[in-house]
Each structure stands twice: as structure tokens, then as C-alpha cells.
Amino acid sequence: MNVRNLVFLCVQNSARSQMAEGLARASAPRGLQVWSAGSHPYEVRPQVGTVLSELGIDSSGQHSKGIEEVPIDETSLVITLCAEQICPAVPGARVLHWPIDDPATGGSDKPEEQLQRFRKVRDHIRARIDELLRDLD
């Protein structure tokens, strides 16, 4: 699979797609451009920075973006991460769908339990990205 540009899409671009962007950028081969965006962007959840920094990934430069803010027309591959919502559609693009539950919803509001949900989703996304990048080689 020849992929030079990769976009992770979600509705709010606040948790899953932000983690995916940070994880993919940290391990992407040279020349692979990575973005994330959402159909209804919101603010990046603070837990994203926390769980990425636990892996040594600095996501401080990332921000929530709308689809129109990324080069979607030049994208080789779009990965949608919505599980409980309807993911944004991207006509004409090659799309993979990875339905992953939103760590910001469901469960307890206790900070440590929230972080545990974010870590679980981070690790799941990381494994999927590692597999994807192996397939790109």
C-alpha cells in the first residue's frame, strides 16, 4: 500500500483521533504526513497529552481541527475512529474504519478511572498503528 498522507477522523477530534495523530507521527516512516480532524471539532481533552507524554510523545502542538483544515483531497488514506457516532464521510478517499469507543464518555468521572480508559484506548490505537505501518513497508 503506497501511503504518503494519512488522516485520522472522528467527530470532535478531541481524543481518539488526537491520540492517533500523536502516535502515528511519533512512529511514522520518513515522508509520511499525518493529520487528524473532525466533523465537529471540540477542544483536545487534557488526558490525551497526559497519556501520550507517558510514552514520551509531545502533543502540545496539536489542536482540534475541522476537516477543511487538513489536506483531505491529497490524502492517500483516511482512518475513521468513531464507534458510537456516525463518522465523517470522505468521498473518493480510501477509508479504513477502526471503531474504537470514546474514552471521554462512559464509566466513572473519577480522574484516575478516566486516565485508565484513555490509556486503554491509546494502547489499542498504538497496536493498530504499528500493524498499519508494518503493512506500509
Q: Is 94 a catalytic residue?
A: no
CA 75 to chain centre: 15
Query: Would you say 47 and 114 are in contact if contact means Cβ atoms under 8 Å apart?
Result: yes
Instruction: Show the cell assigned to 83.
Output: 464507534
CA-to-CA separations, 114 to 46, 78, 93, 99, 135, in angstroms, rounded? 11, 27, 34, 19, 32
Q: Which of 6, 10, 37, 79 is catalytic?
A: 10
CA distance 35 to 78: 10
- Distance CA(92)–CA(98), nearest Å, equals 18
| 12 in active site | no
Among residues 81, 87, 121, 125, the one annotated as catalytic is 87
Q: Per the residue annotation, which of 24, 34, 52, 82 is the catalytic one?
A: 82
- 87 assigned to active site: yes
Instruction: Give the residue numbers marked as catalytic.
Output: 10, 82, 87
